[in-house]
Structure formats: C-alpha cells, structure tokens
Structure 1
Amino acid sequence: MERAHCCCHRRLLGPGSCGEPPACRECSFMPPPPCPSAGLSRVMLKMMTFFQGLPGQHTASGGPDLPGSSQKLPSTSEVESEASMSEASSEDLVPTLEAAGAPDRDKEEALKKKKKKKSKGLASVLSVFTKGRRKKGQPGSAEPEGDPGARPEPSAPLPTAEELKAELERGRLEAARPLLALERELAAAAAAGGESAEELVRRQSKVEALYVLLREQVLGVLRRPLDVAPERLRQALQVLAEQEREDRRAAAAAAAAGAPGGSALVAARPRRWLQLWRRAVAQAAQERLGARPPADAEGRSEAERAFLHMGRAMKEDLEAVVERLKPLFPADLDVDVVAAYAESYHEHFAAQLAAVAQFELCERDTYMLLLWVQNLYPNDIINSPKLAGDLQRVQLGSLLPPRQIRLLEATFLSNEVASVKELMARALELESQRWARDVAPQRLDSHYHSELAIDIIQIISQGQAKAESITLDLGVQIKNVLLLELAAFLRSYQRAFDEFLERCKQLRNYRANVMANINNCLSFRTAMEQKWQILQDLPGHLMGPLSELKSHGFDTLLQSLFGDLKPLFKRFTQTRWVAPAQTLGDIISTVGERLPEFSKLHDCFQKELMEVVHLHLVKEYIIRLSKRSVVLKVVEQQRQLAEHILANAEVIQRFCTQNGSSATWLHHALPTLAEIIRLQDPSAIKIEVATYATRYPDFSKGHLSAILAIKGNLSSNEVKSIRSILDVSEGMQQSSKPLFSLIKVG
C-alpha cells in the first residue's frame, strides 16, 4: 500500500495498530478509510482531529485561572469548546493531502481551482478592508485606515486562511475583520447546506486555528498594555470589543432560532475574550507584584523590600492605566478598566500581606506591615491625587481584616513600649557612668548641659511618632502609655541622682554635674508642656521626681554657703542685737560673693535658687528672733528693735529681688513681726497676729509665744488672750510654701 503524507507534512504515515489505518503521531492525522462509502467515518475523524485537543488539556489559553478569582468562569461545555478551538493546530492551515484518498478527483480539481481563484496577495485584499477612504466630496463613508473594525465591501473577495495566518503571525491585527467575515461566511454555508459535513469541519478548524492566533496577539498586547504603542493598544481593544459584540449577536441569533439543528459546525461562541482578558489582568498583577524585589543598599529587610516593591508597582501601573489605557478603552465594552486592574492588584497585594502576617514577625516587620495596611496603602496609593477619583468608587477595602489589624496593633504597642523602656534605661546607665568617671559636662550657651534629657525626649517622641505614622488613634494610645513609662523613668533618674549626690562628693566635677542635671529638668518640663501637649499644671507623677531632683540639687549646691552663713546669724543673739546692721551686711556680702558659682545654671534655675536663698535668710532671721535670748521691758527698746528688724527686712528684700528672687510672699514675714514687737495695745496686736496667720498659715502659737517673749511688759493674761486669736485660724488651709513649719521652737 502506498504510504501517504500527514497534514502536518512532518513524517510519512506508518501502519496503524490492530488493523487500523496508519496514523501520524505528531498531528493525529488519520487518512480516510479505503471504503468510498465511509463518508460519515471521515467526518468523525476530522472532528476528533480538530476538536478533541491534546490529552490532558481542557482550558483555553490566554491566561491562567487564578485561585480565588472573582470572575465568573465559563460552563464546562463552553470551556471544552474553547479548549478544542485553542488546541486546533495552526498547521491545519496548510493545504492537506487527505483528498488523495477521495473517490472523486474531479471534485478535488474543482475545489483547487476555486481556491486558486480566491487566493490573492493579502496586502491587496486587506486594502479593500482597511483603506476604504472616500475622496473629498464623494458620497458614502469609510473607516479610518488601520482600523480593524472597518467593514469589508460586499463585493470584495475574502483572503484565504493561509494569507490571514501569515498576517497574524506578523502581528497584524487588521486581519481580525476578514477573519470575522470568514467565520460568518462559514456559518452561512452551513445554514445553506450546500457543502458536506467534512468540508465544513475542515473549514471551521482553520477558522478556529486563526482565532487562536488572533487571541494570542490581542491578549498578548492587552496583557502588557503599558509596554506597547497607543495605536496598537487601540487596535487590540477594538478587536476585543468586536468579539464581544459578535458574542452578543451570536447569542441573540441562537435565541431567535430556538433549538439548534443538526449542523456539522461545533458552537464556537460565545468566545468570552473579555473574561480571558480579566484573567490575563489577574495574571499580570500576580507576575508584577510577585516578582522578586531588587536588593538595595539601605539595609531594608526582605519584607520591607517586598512591601515597597508591591506598593510602587501597583501605584505606577494603576496610574499608567488611568492615563493611557482608560482613555482608549471602548465604551461599549461596559467595563471599568481601572477597577479591573485595581481589584486584581489589590487581591494579590492582600494575599501577600496575609501570608506574611501568618508568621511571627520581628518588631520592624510588624511596624512596616501595619504602616502599609493602615497608612501608605490607603493614603499614598488609593487616595493619591491621580488615582483617588477612580478608586474611591471601587471600594477596595483594607488589605487585612479588622481583627488581624487589632492583633498586630497590640503587638506593635507591646514591642514599642518594651523598646522605649530598654532604650531609656540604657541611656540612664550610660549617663550615670559618666558621672562616676568624673567626666565634665558639656556647655551649651554658657550653661552646663547634659544629653540625657535630649536622648530621653527623642526616645519617647520617636515611639509616639512611629505609632502616629500608622494611625493618629494609635498615636494617642501609645502616648498615654509612654508618659507612664516616662514617669517611671524619672523616678529611676531621681534615685540614680540621689545616689550620685551621696557617693561622689569628692569628685572634681561634682558640682558641675549637679548643675547639669538641674538644667535637665527644664528640658523635660518643656517637652511635656509643649511637645506632648500636657497642661502647664503638670501631674505630680511626672513633676514630682523632677521637683525632688531639683530640690536635692539646690540643697547640695547651697550647703557650703549656708554653712558659712550659720556663724554670722549667731551674732544676732550673741551681741543681743547690738549691731544688727553690721551683722546683716556681712551676711549679704558673703552671699553676693558666692552667687557667681551658680551662673552655669539656666536663668530660670538661678532665680529659683535665689528664692531658696531668700527663704533661708528670712527663716534664719526669724529663728534668731525666736531664741528668747533677749527680753525687752522698756517700750523704747522694743521700738528700736522693731526699727532694726524693718531695716534688715528691707535690705534682705532688696538684695534678693535684685538678684532674681520673685518670692514676694516673703516680703511681709519680717515687717509684720517687727510691728507685733512695736505695738503695745493687746487688741492691736491681736489684729496684726490674725492678719499674719492668714498670710502664713503655718504660724503657730509656739512661734507667737517666742515673739511675744521679747515683749517683757506683757502680762500672762495678755499673752494668753493674744495667743487665743490663733485658735480661730487653726484648721485653715495650709500654705503650699512653708516658712514657719521649717522653724522649730521650744
């Protein structure tokens, strides 16, 4: 028996097995059986050749069906039909030799002559379809050149399948219209019934193979729409729109015709290229966002680089879709192209983040994940100026579910607070080591300066800023927690400073470091009042430790000065107040000589320290008056002592005020006592004592008795009556600034 060539022309046919006709293992071609009456068998064999497809393949090419895709998938029959069309080999477009076994060679010759008559150069034929321009002034209309939607003239001969194949392989989308015309001509021939089933099947296999090529070209362009020229993109979109219109037309025609008849053609529509396009968009999003991010030199973690890559890719691609693809998208497709891309990108972005969130993340990656989900994605991408108008109506939602976000936020807060505590403890430890090593503090604007306050403020501020960069609400949550941690730190700071004051007195830079730490109180207070927006009336748990630290620092700095003043104040009683002016002059001179030592304090603390000195001078003066060392029975002597006290009070007040003291509440302390000593009428003395008790609630009967002891001309009943005036003042609100409670009498 003569060995025939198969349709793919790749090898000679070998003998079949089990008595079957020889078959080609490349294209599954089987020659017709030798019996001329086996026409039906030939039709069935052709059907197997073009519509069964390759083993194991049942899905249409043009884009994978992504898991979890929200697009509606075609039915099983539709998928199988599309798969059979996809797998139809384009080599079937080569003229086959199966007519060698046909019984009627005259019919074969007639077909060849008919085909030859039709076959012309496609360039000239397509010009009929695409260049139907009318001359100026001519009636009629024509489509623009290169428009695949141009309609062919009824009289123009259609190109052959081989010519269309060649043009499609060269990427010419103008072949879409002639191909649609071939499809319609085939449908008309099938309806007319003038051709055999075998011939119809053969012709349909070629048409479907051409559609496979066209589909690959169109979806290839639309798969990467941002990488092709606008005109080619426009052509691909027009072809897609034309196919959707043809799907609708074919569906309407089928519905009008009712139940299908016994046509040899396999139903090829609807082709659902728009659905395939959606799948291609999803695949493009997966490939684009799933690409491995490039390495960088900024030390980012792998998760950070992945988030940054996906965010940049999504924003850039969607902006390009809005600017380039959206204006070209045909209106009759009834598709929100921006939404289609945004949903695909969002779905893959969310899937990637959900996968990352399943792992136990480090602190940095937890922060970055929340930052993208809560801030960067909704604000810098979804609501960016170029995308907000199109994406707001899409309502993509959050990248992670609310419950998972809350868990991540709780983890972030816990991590951040622990980190802040550790950093603050380390900063205090380093500062304490500097004190112990007797390292001199820095100077800033002629004042002693410590970096500790700045370090702590930065640590707290950075923790709050990180939370606020995620959401403002999270910033408020962490602020309250961090202020509690700050209070705990300040207590630790005070304890460390007290230990330094006790153990390091002999160090050369001891007093300088004391002043530097007092200056730190200003930085802390300013930060709490301004940066963290706490009211000036700061809560005790924050200001208490700072007040204690400052007070202990002042006591340390003034200890030697007050020690030098003690013997000078003793002179008042030792000389029985003979020369009070000279004694006070020596006291003021001693204080004035020591004040420059405190110039390295901030100005506000120099004033506060001067208030402490002012209080000390008044207090020590009252202590000397209360020593009962002098008893004056003569009224004139009492008046002279009162005048000395008034003169000394004026000197103390003027000196302290000139050097920055604002303790005006001390101005009446000595002059009122002088008035009590000068007055002789018990009733007048009672009025003065009552007024005095309102200004200084801690003025007790013991203090009054010590002052009245100077007035040796008062009877015991008069003293008792004057003392009783303080019974009315008992239980009154205590002064926040103690004076007499610092003076012990007895």
Structure 2
Amino acid sequence: MHCMGFLAATFDQLAELGEFTFEQNLEHLRLLEAGKQLIDREERLFATVAGGTGPLECQKDQVDQLAKDHQTLLGCVTKALRESLDLAKESVLKSAVKALLQEAEQDKRWASVERRSQTPPAWRPSRWRRLLDSTLQETVEKRMDAATLADQATEGWSSVQMEIDGKGKLIKEDLQRVVEVLTDCYPVEIDICNVFARLYHQDFSSRLNKIADFALSEKDCAHVLRWMNDYYPNILKKYEKDINCEALGKLLPEKVYKPMEEQYLTNSQVNTQKLINQILKREEEAWLKGDEPEFGEYYSSPLAIDVVECIDGAMRSAEVYLGDQQKALPVMCLLKDFLQSFMKFHEDVLKGTPANSKPVTCFMKFHEDVLKGTPANSKPVTLANLNCVEQFRDYIIRKTSLFPEEVRESCLSTVTAMKESGYAYLLSPMHKDLKPQYKKLGTSEWLNKPLFEELLDSVEEHIKDLKGLNESCHQELMGRLEKEVTLEYIKRLMKDKVKLKKKETQEHAARTVTENGHSLHKLFSKVGSREDWLADILPKIAEVLKLQDLPSIQLAVASLPAAYPDLSVKHVTALLKLKSNLSNNDREKVKATFQDSLAEINHQDASFASFFSEIQIK
C-alpha cells in the first residue's frame, strides 16, 4: 500500500513537472498532453527552420517518427471516441476531445497568412471534425448492429418486434448517457447531443425502412407505427431541452408510413367491428333464449359499456399508433352502423319476434318456441335497451368533437328514434287501459264527479309497472307520460262535449281544470317528471274559461302564443266554443287579436317545446 502510494505520488509529481515522455502520456491515456508534445515537436521541425522551406535533410528521421507518433495519437483518440458510450469514467474522453480541438487549432495556425510560405507536414490539415463525425457514425452503426434483441420470452412477439425493441432500448440508454455524461466532455459548439441524436435517428430510420420493404404482418406493421409515432417521440421528448426533435423529422417517409397507417386503420376497424357485432349477437341470443337482463336498481345490460369500451379503446389506440387524433376519427364512425343494427334488434324485441326468422333443423324447436308469440322477457330487455341507449347518448354528447357532424347527427337521430319507440311500447298498453276513463274527460259527468281523481289513481297504479329504467330514463319517461296525459286531457276538453253557458258553470269548470292541472303535475313531479313547463298549460286554459269580459279574454288569449307558438286558430276556436255564451262576433274579435299576437311571435322565431301541434282539431 505504501509502495503504491509512493508510485502514484511520483507519477503526479512528474506530470506536474512535464517530465513524462510521449509514450508515457499515451500509456496513461493523457492524450491532450501527448498531443501537445507532438505539436511542440512539429513546431521545432517545421515552423522554425530558417527560410521556411521545411526540415533539413538530416531531420528526415525525426519527421518520419513524428508522423508515426501522430498516427498513434490519432489511433488512441479514435479508440477513446469509439468507447465513449462504454466508459465508466469520462476523463479519457475529455482528454481525447481536447486533443482533437488542439489539433484543430494547429490546423488553423498552418492555414494562417503568416505561414503561407511554409510547407506543412503531410498530416496537415488533420481534418479532426471529419474524423470525429466518421468515428461517431461508425460507433453508432456498430452499436446498433450489436444491439441485443428484446426479451425473446415475450409472448407472441415476432423477431421483427424483438429486433426493433432491442435497438430502440439501446437508443434510449445511449441518449441518456450522451445527455447526462458526454455533454460535459464536448464544447458547446460541437452540440454533441444533436450529433448523436441525428446519427441514431438516421441509423434507426434506415433499418426501419428496410424492415418496411417486406410484407409485414398486422402485428409487425402496428409495432413499426407504434415506434414511429409513440415510443420513439417519447424517448426524444424526454431530452427536448438538449435535442432539436423537430429537426429530426419522422423515422419513415410518408410514402412508406402512409400505406402502413391505412393498413392499421383498416385492420382496427375490421377487428373492432367484429367485436361489437359479437357483443350485439350475445344480447340477441340471450333474448331469444328467454334470459332476462340483470336487475338491481334497474334493468341493466353490459352492451353499451362493452361497445363503448371497444370503440373508445380502438380510438385511443389508433391515436397512439397513428400519432394523430384526426387520423383515428374513422374508428368513431363504427358507432353509426352499430346503432342501426342495435335499433333493428330493438325493433325485433318490441315486435316480440326476430325479423326473417328461418328455422333450421338444428334450431327447429328453438325457433318454433320463439315464433309462438311475444317472448316474456321482451319488456325487461326493452328497459335494459333503453338504459343502454341513454349511455350511448351520453357518450356521443361527451365525445361530440370526435364525431364528424353527419355521423354525430345520425347517431343522435337513431338513439332518439329508439327512445321514442321504446317509450311508446311501454306507454301504449297503459293508454289503452285508460281510454275508457279518458273518454269521460270534458263531459258533464267529469264536471260533477271526481272522475279525474280516479284517473290519477289509475295512472299511479300503472306507473308502478314502469320500474326498471335508470334515473335519467325514468325521468324522461315520466315527463313524456305527463305530457301525453295532459294532451289527452286538453284533446278531450276541446271536443266540445260540454256546454258552459253560465258564468257560474264556466268558473266551476275553470276551478276544476286548474285543480286537475295542479293534481296532475304534483303526481308526476312525485314520480320523477321534470317537465315543469307543463304545469302552466291547464291553468292558462282555465283562465280563459273563467274570464267574462271581452277585453280580458282577448288579453288572456293573446298572451298564449308567447308560451305556446304552436297554438293555432283552430285550437282557440275549440276553446272558445266551450264558452257558449260568447257571441260569434266576440269570438272573431278574440281570434283576430290572437292571430296578431301569433304573427308577432313567429317573426321572433322563438324556440319552444311542441305541444298543441300534437292535438289535431277537425
């Protein structure tokens, strides 16, 4: 230990005194110092000779030796550059780079005006930058050639995938060393990070181009795109402060990657289409077998969630593989055709039998059972379908920017149509049962007996059979039912089956309509309807029935178009007929006032919820 310490101290002392020989400096990899010694010798032999004609004949042996030493030095410098990415220490590389810079300065001295008359040695100029670039390029190529394959145990991976991953991993590790270590070994003007980045980019690009020349499998094609548009850009992005990523460009030219992207997108759409078709087929088969959807708080089916996950997942993957959200948008268009198929299934469920059912031998009994009548599970399946439709609607609205306008409008139109048919399926039997009670509305019996309370009791009982929708759909269904019952009420009232001749009778009818309106809205608010605008319709009609003087009636009727622009002259005529004590002349005045008000509202192009347009007056 003491002996080694003494030798180290002696070495350091000799280094400080500058008493190392050229060979000793090379041995200890002091390349800068060795280079300085050669330049000093060069100066003595070439630059200081009288007359500036070069070394004397007797000095030829010294020149030959200097040339050999210069080559030896360049060999050591080149070796240090080649091993720069493998070294654990940076001191040798720093010395080699400084030696190269020192050589460059000597080249400049020889090129100066003062030395134009002198004959430079054969090794001048040394072209150190060319040496640096060629050495680093050779180093990168050899390292990429020697890059090990990715883990061969990776399940299902091809040799192409493993090769690309192995080289990509090497680039990631080498660039990290360049940025974290080699930056300090080179002067800023060399811009070593961008030098290495460019060399690795060119090499990797060349190799991927060669791979792309072959007919790649679906997985290999996708893997190349993933590296080009995702993995590789993310490697560079980590060092974007040190590397000009934009200047590097893409790994593959457009003529190469565009067909690959088209192939990937086509495969993605085909595979996704198969998956979502299988999901729908699973639901169809469950319905035909008589299975009921799962019931918790409501009937639920995994269909919407599974389809959305498939399409959304394919969309996100395509965005990653293609490197551009816009290029991935065609995946979203798959939902349009799927919803059309889903609506067809939905319609079959509502009808109770599958369209175009053709029993075959192996399924003969199965189909015969189905064709006997409406499957008992059609209502639960309809409820589950409506819940799915709501989920699709929410997804379309949430992702509206990802759908082309025509596709988005088509999808929303389909889900709206499915809701309409589904709600009609659920409510039609109820209206059919209530029809005898509806017929009594607007009659003398209605005015004198608590018929409407009985109707509300019946409605409430029927509502108990409408369980199974999620909260949003249930609210929508209750709102639709409230509107339909209100429409039925006014439709019956305008049939002119009761004559309100006296003031007292009209006031009694007005109170009845008002109370009926409040009771109706109170019931539906309790069961989930949020259509508060319906609450004012019957009281506004009651106001017209109650008023007696013509100006007040005119004012009340003239105010209606502001809230109900679809109210027509026919509706007003039917309403005024209830007030049988009103003269024809007065009726015409009220209608004229109404028409003036309606024309003004129409010019304003007011938006409104349709109501009276759904009441047909003969």
Alignment of 1:446-457 (within 5 A): 446-457=297-308
Find the partner of 1:511 among 361, 371, 379: 379
* Greater share of helix: 2
Which of 182, 192, 205 is matched with 1:350 structurally?
Answer: 205
Report the secondary structure of 1:225's partner residue. Answer: coil
Task: Give per-residue Cα distances to partners, 1:82-113, cap 9 Å, x unaligned.
Answer: xxxxxxxxxxxxxxxxxxxxxxxxxxxxxxxx
CA distance in 1 between counterparts of 2:107 and 2:506 reads 122
Pairs within 5 Å for 1:221-620 = 221-230=80-89, 233=93, 267=122, 275-276=130-131, 278-290=133-145, 291=147, 293-294=149-150, 295-328=152-185, 335-359=190-214, 361=216, 364-381=219-236, 383-384=237-238, 387-392=239-244, 395-401=247-253, 416=268, 420-421=272-273, 423-443=275-295, 446-469=297-320, 474-476=324-326, 478-479=328-329, 481-482=330-331, 484-504=333-353, 506-532=374-400, 540-572=409-441, 576-577=445-446, 579-581=448-450, 583-620=451-488
Alpha-carbon shift at residue 343 of structure 1 (Å)? 3.1
Say which of 507, 510, 531 aligns to 1:642.
510
Aligned length: 576
What are the superposed Cα offsets for residues 124-147 of structure 1, whole Å, 9 maximum, x if unpaired?
A: xxx9xx948369xxxxx5139798
Out of 130, 133, 148, the residue aligned to residue 13 of structure 2 is: 133
Partner of 2:360: none
Q: Which amino acid aligns with 2:291?
A: V
Task: Give the CA deviation at 1:553.
Answer: 1.5
CA distance in 2, matches of 1:174, 1:745: 105
Question: What residue identity is the alignment partner of 1:224?
Answer: E
Say if 1:149 and 1:177, in contact at 8 Å, map to a contact too. Answer: no
Question: Which residue, 492, 502, 515 being the options, matches 1:624?
Answer: 492
Query: How far has the Cα of 1:551 moved from its partner?
Result: 1.9
SS at match of 1:668: helix
In the superposition, relative to structure 1, how do residues 298 and 244 fare at CA in structure 2: closer, same or farther (>3 Å)? farther
- Cα deviation 1:15-59 (Å, max 9, x = unaligned): xxxxxxxxxxxxxxxxxxxxxxxxxxxxxxxxxxxxxxxxxxxxx
Shift of 1:647: 2.7
| Structure 2 unaligned spans of 5+ | 1-6, 47-53, 354-372
Check whether the contact 2:332–2:402 (CA below 8 A) recurs between aligned residues: no
Superposed displacement of residue 459, structure 1: 3.3
Paired residue for 1:161?
none
Cα 1:311–1:647 shift into 2, 3 Å: same
Deviations 1:631-672, CA, capped at 9 Å, x for gaps: 354444444333333332232122222222232322233234
Give the superposition deviation at 1:395. Answer: 4.5
Letter in 1 for 2:535: H
Shift, 1:439, TM fit:
3.0
The aligned amino acid for 1:628 is: D
Residue identity matched to 1:133: Q
Which segment drifts farther, 247-256 or 334-343?
247-256
Q: What is the Cα deviation at residue 249 of structure 1?
A: 7.8
Structure 1 residues 180, 618: closer, same or farther in 2, change over 3 A? Answer: closer
Contact 1:653 1:667 in 2 (8 A): yes
Percent identical across equivalent pairs? 26
Task: Give the whole-Å Cα distance in 2 for the aligned partners of 1:558 and 1:310.
Answer: 65
Query: Are the structure 2 counterparts of residues 244 and 689 from structure 1 closer, same or farther at C-alpha, using a change threshold of 3 Å?
Result: closer
TM-score normalised by L of structure 1:
0.64
> Does the 8 Å contact 1:289/1:310 carry over to 2?
yes
Secondary structure of the corresponding residue to residue 439 of structure 1: coil
Residue number among 671, 685, 703 corresponding to 2:553 in the alignment: 685
The 3 A distance-change label for structure 1 pair 696 and 146 is: farther
Cα shift at 1:235: 6.1
Please identify, of 546-555 and 287-296, the stretch whose mean Cα deviation from structure 2 is larger. 287-296
> Quick one: distance in 2 between partners of 1:620 and 1:413?
52
Measure, in 1, the Cα distance between the counterparts of 2:189 and 2:501.
114
The question of whether the paired residues in 1 share the 8 Å contact of 2:197 and 2:243 is answered with yes
Structure 1: 5+ residue stretches without partners: 1-126, 136-140, 151-166, 261-265
Query: CA 1:287/1:685 → structure 2, altered by over 3 Å: closer, same or farther?
Result: same
Deviations 1:563-600 (A, max 9, x none): 2211222344777336431x222221122223333343
| Maintained 8 Å contact 1:427/1:452 | yes
What's the offset of the Cα at 1:348?
A: 0.7
CA distance in 2, matches of 1:217, 1:259: 27
CA 1:284–1:637: 2 relative to 1, 3 Å: same
Deviation at 1:714, TM superposition (A): 4.3
Aligned to 1:737: 609
Equivalent in the alignment of 2:358: none
Q: How many Å separate the matches in 2 of 1:699 and 1:525?
A: 31
Superimposed CA distance per residue, residues 599-650 of structure 1 (whole angstroms, 9 cap, x where no aligned partner): 4322222222111221222222223323333335444444433333333223
Letter in 1 for 2:344: R
Q: What's the CA shift string for 1:680-720, capped at 9, x where partnerless?
A: 44554343333334433343444444444444444555555
Answer with 1 or 2: which has the greater Rg. 1
Tell me which residue corresponds to 1:157: none
- In the alignment, the residues of structure 2 paired with residue 636 and residue 465 of structure 1 have an alpha-carbon distance, to the nearest angstrom, of 70
Amino acid of the structure 2 residue aligned with 1:739: F
The residue type paired with residue 744 of structure 1 is: Q
After TM superposition, the structure 1 stretch with the greater mean CA deviation from structure 2, 720-729 or 563-572, is: 720-729
Give the corresponding residue for 1:46: none
Q: CA deviation at 1:253?
A: 13
1:227 aligned counterpart, secondary structure: coil
Question: What secondary structure does 2:143 align onto?
Answer: helix
Deviation at 1:547, TM superposition (A): 1.8
Change (3 A) 1:655 1:398: closer
| 1:142 partnered with 2:17 | yes
Contact in 1 for aligned 2:110/2:116 (Cα 8 Å): no
Separation (CA, whole Å) in 1 of partners of 2:607 and 2:72: 97
| 1:376 positional shift | 3.9
Aligned to 1:40: none
